[in-house]
Amino acid sequence: MTILSVDDLSISFGGLAALSGVSMSVDEGTIFSIIGPNGAGKTTIFNCITGIYRPSQGSIRFQSIEMVGKKPYQAAKCGIARTFQNIELFSHLSTMDNLLLGRHIHMKTGVFSGAFVPGWASKAAREECLHRERVERIIEFLELEASRDIPVGALPYGTRKLVELGRALAVEPKLLLLDEPTAGMNQEEKRDMMFWIRDIRDDFQITILMVEHDMNLVMDVSDEVMALNFGIKLVQGRPSDVQKHPEVLEAYLGKD
**Residue 42 in contact with ligand ADP, rule: CB under 6 A:** yes
Shortest distance in whole angstroms from residue 15 CB to ligand ADP: 10
Nearer to ligand ADP, 143 or 250 (CB): 250
CA atoms of 216 and 25, how far apart (whole Å) = 23
Binding to Mg ion (CB under 5 A): which residues in 80-109?
A: 85
The string of DSSP letters for 108-170 reads -S-HHHHTTSTTHHHHHHHHHHHHHHHHHHHHHHTT-GGGTTSBGGGS-HHHHHHHHHHHHHH
Phi, psi of 41 (to 5 degrees): 115, 10
CA 18, 20, 21, 27 torsion: positive or negative?
Answer: negative
Only one of the segments 33-41, 75-83, 87-95, 116-124 lies at the binding site for ligand ADP (rule: CB under 6 A); that segment is 33-41
Work out which of 18, 24, 31, 43 binds Mg ion, going by CB under 5 A. Answer: 43
For Mg ion, the closer of residues 110 and 184 by Cβ is 184
Contact criterion met (CB below 8 Å) for 39 and 65: no
Which member of 6, 18, 49, 248 binds ligand ADP (CB under 6 A)? Answer: 18
Query: Rule CB under 5 A: is residue 50 a binding residue for Mg ion?
Result: no
- Which residue stretch of 41-49, 114-122, 133-141, 237-245 sits at the interface with ligand ADP (rule: CB under 6 A)? 41-49
One symbol per residue from 17 to 36: x for binding Mg ion (CB under 5 A), - otherwise; what is it? --------------------
Size of the site for ligand ADP (CB under 6 A): 11
Q: Is 40 a binder of ligand ADP (CB under 6 A)?
A: yes
Q: Is 38 in the site for ligand ADP (CB under 6 A)?
A: yes
Q: Choose among 210, 126, 138, 125: nearest CA to 171.
A: 138
User: Which residue number, 40 or 163, has a Cβ lying nearer to ligand ADP?
Assistant: 40
Q: How far is CA 100 from CA 60, 62, 136, 157, in A?
A: 29, 25, 10, 20
Which class for 43: exposed (0-12), middle (13-18), buried (19 or more C-beta within 10 A)?
buried
Q: Closest Cα to residue 102, out of 113, 111, 90?
A: 90
Task: Single out the residue of 39, 110, 156, 184 in contact with ligand ADP (rule: CB under 6 A).
Answer: 39
15 binds ligand ADP (CB under 6 A): no
Which positions lie near ligand ADP, rule CB under 6 A? 13, 16, 18, 36, 38-44
